[in-house]
Structure 1
Amino acid sequence: MANLLCFQNHTIPSFSSPLNTAHDSPSFNLSGIKFPSIADNGRRQCLNAISYKSRSGIEIDNKDRKLLEEYGFDPDEILSEPTPKSKGRKGSSKTGGKGRQAIVEEPRPPRETHKLLQVLAGKARRKKLLSPKGMDVRPMMEVVKAAAFSILQAAGGTPASLQPGRWLDLYSGTGSVGIEAISRGCSEAHFVEMDPWVVSDILQPNLECTGFLDVSTIHTVRVEDFLKRADQFLGIKGPFDYISVTPPYMLVDYGVLMDQISSSSVIGENSFIVVEYPLKTDMLDSCGCLVKIADRRFGRTHLAIYGPHWAQKKK
């Protein structure tokens, strides 16, 4: 279809034209180009135009070019003016094909690590551990970790160390709890962490620097999925002797989580479970066949420990 642009002198009628030009307006717009109004013999006149735009812009013939020049316009200047475009704000969305909006996300700053954690006791005592800067991962406080292992060791009948066994570190993050368990006597540990960056840049280096990588297994999967398919991940090894649960406080429902753990094959009659939870959270007195043997408060952080009935006498 050829581009068409026609111009004709006429007097503005009393009704609104397609150009929406008001009688008292000093100027009007045509296809995104602003023209001043023209008066002739006391009558206000304007240019009426019908146009078809292609991707290459507006094209006019010699007759219309002469008409523009007659009224004092420069055709080359008019045609060279770019169509006004709205400036997008930083971080705003841009319209893609077919009217769909593509969200433009600002690049996130690179995640960084530092060494503020350490192993408290055992074979890897005082070994420094990596942890992420910021609040991406919230490791268990050292005072809470020390209290948890003291209770577990006393309940197991060996106050100086843990009884040999298998440890499951759910929401492991830095792996500091599972690493502490191996350092204090556990024979192996399984770490469940869904963030690939945390696994590759923090958890695995921590296991390597402590020398515990050979006795560790990392599961890069959601905790909920791991609990549902524990038999597929673990085979016929049976339940764990110790389980630590240190989730992000605001992202889990503790009632649902503890129910998933109690119905999973990861616990047995002689298992111990360490749960870190926030203030104003109601924790049940039992988890499956296990009973609560300790409940401690450290500021806004609480620590609940579940174990077999016989461990209540040794707590």
Structure 2
Amino acid sequence: MRVISGSAKGHKLKSLKGMATRPTADRIKESLFNIIAAYLPDAYVLDLFAGTGSLGIESLSRGAEFVVFVDKNPMAVRIISENLLHTKLNEKAKVYNCDWSEYISRFSNAERKYDIIFMDPPYSKGFIIPVLQKIWQKQLLSIEGMIIVEREKGDVIPELIEGLKIVREQHYGRTVITFIQYHK
């Protein structure tokens, strides 16, 4: 696993051993970042269920202003911190060792909205809808912002969820990347 483009291009990223995380495959990551390239410059990004931090680090490498990483696994948080130091992007990031719900309830700043929110929760565990509902309730997304959900094909998301709507989906075998914005 590596940083594909930008200031940290080519840097290899550490990952957790075993099945504790499921890093986004490089080919999926490359396709995803080609799709969102116009959204990245100066973006404020939230990486929920961050795992190795690969998506947030790629965002920083490609020009995002700041990334908040959230993961409840202390080993994942350590790996994210090491990857940020290795890529020299640590000054543009904050890492939280907590559950997604705790972060949104206690630490999210209503004054600053996120331009991009990455969600890569464990597959088939029922996280997607509650997280989307909480993001909507707390109004964490900027007006033109985007939520990007990596999910397994079997994890279905309704077309509309409390003020949010699916605007695009990309299929990569069993993996689906779903792009969600405010319903206007």
Shared fold (TM-score, shorter chain, > 0.5): yes
Maintained 8 Å contact 1:287/1:306: no
Determine whether 1:177 maps to 2:177: no
Tell me which of 158, 167, 173 is aligned to 1:284: 158
Deviations 1:36-61 (A, max 9, x none): xxxxxxxxxxxxxxxxxxxxxxxxxx
Alpha carbons of 1:236 and 1:249: their partners in 2 closer, same or farther (altered >3 Å)?
A: closer
> Is the 8 Å Cα contact of residues 56 and 69 (structure 2) preserved in structure 1?
yes
Aligned to 1:199: 77
Deviations along 1:100-125, whole A, 9 cap, x unmatched? Answer: xxxxxxxxxxxxxxxxx100111101
- Quote the offset at 1:172 in angstroms: 0.4
| Pairs within 5 Å for 1:190-269 | 190-200=68-78, 202-229=79-106, 233-235=107-109, 237-269=111-143
* Structure 2 Cα separation of the partners of residues 163 and 308 of structure 1: 20
The Cα of 1:236 is off from its aligned counterpart by 5.3
Judging by fraction of residues, say which structure has more strand: 2
Report 1:96-107 matches (<5 A): none
Name the CA distance, whole Å, in 2 between partners of 1:283 and 1:296: 13
> Given the superposition, is the C-alpha separation of residues 251 and 164 from structure 1 closer, same or farther in structure 2, using an over 3 Å criterion?
same
Counterparts of 1:164 and 1:193 in 2: how far apart (Å)?
A: 23
Structure 1 stretches of 5 or more lacking a match?
1-116, 157-161, 311-315
- How far does the alpha carbon of each residue in 1:80-104 deviate from its partner, in whole angstroms, 9 at most, with x for none? xxxxxxxxxxxxxxxxxxxxxxxxx
Aligned residues, how many? 184
Alpha-carbon offset, residue 144 of structure 1: 1.7
Q: Which runs of 5+ in 2 are unaligned?
A: none
* Displacement after TM superposition at 1:281 (Å): 2.2
Aligned counterparts of 1:193 and 1:281: Cα–Cα separation in 2: 21
Which has the higher relative contact order, 1 or 2, with Cα contacts under 8 A spaced 6 or more apart?
2
The one-letter code matched in structure 1 to 2:58 is: E
Partner SS state of residue 132, structure 1: coil
Deviation at 1:283, TM superposition (A): 1.2
Give the Cα–Cα distance (whole angstroms) in 2 for the partners of residues 287 and 123 of structure 1. Answer: 36
Partner of 1:270: 144
Kept in 1: contact 2:164–2:182 (CA 8 A)? yes
State the alpha-carbon separation in 1 of the partners of residues 129 and 54 from structure 2: 25
Q: Structure 1: how far apart are the matches of 2:21 and 2:112?
A: 30
Shift of 1:252: 3.1
Q: Distance in 2 between matches of 1:120 and 1:303?
A: 18
User: Quick one: structure 1 residues 284 and 268, their matched pair in 2 at CA, closer, same or farther if it must change by over 3 Å?
Assistant: farther
Deviating beyond 6 angstroms after TM superposition, the runs of 4 or more aligned structure 1 residues are none
TM-score by length of 2: 0.91
CA deviation digits over 1:131-160, x for unaligned, max 9?
A: 012111111111221222122125x4xxxx
1:165 Cα offset (Å): 1.5
Whose radius of gyration is greater, 1 or 2? Answer: 1
Please, which of 295, 303, 309 is the counterpart of residue 169 of structure 2? 295
**SS state of the match for residue 292, structure 1?**
strand
**Structure 1 residues 210 and 288, CA gap change in structure 2 (3 angstroms):** farther
CA contact (8 A) 2:77 2:96 kept: no
Q: Distance in 1 between matches of 2:131 and 2:97?
A: 18
Question: What TM-score do you get using the length of structure 1 for normalisation?
Answer: 0.55
- After superposition, give the CA deviation of every residue in 1:216-241 in whole Å (9 maximum; x if it has no partner): 00111100111223xxx244542101
One-letter code aligned to 1:179: I
Matched, 1:134 2:22: no
One of 16, 19, 41 as aligned partner of 1:163: 41
Is the CA contact (8 Å cut-off) linking 2:49 and 2:121 kept in structure 1? yes
Residue of structure 1 in register with 2:29 after alignment: 145
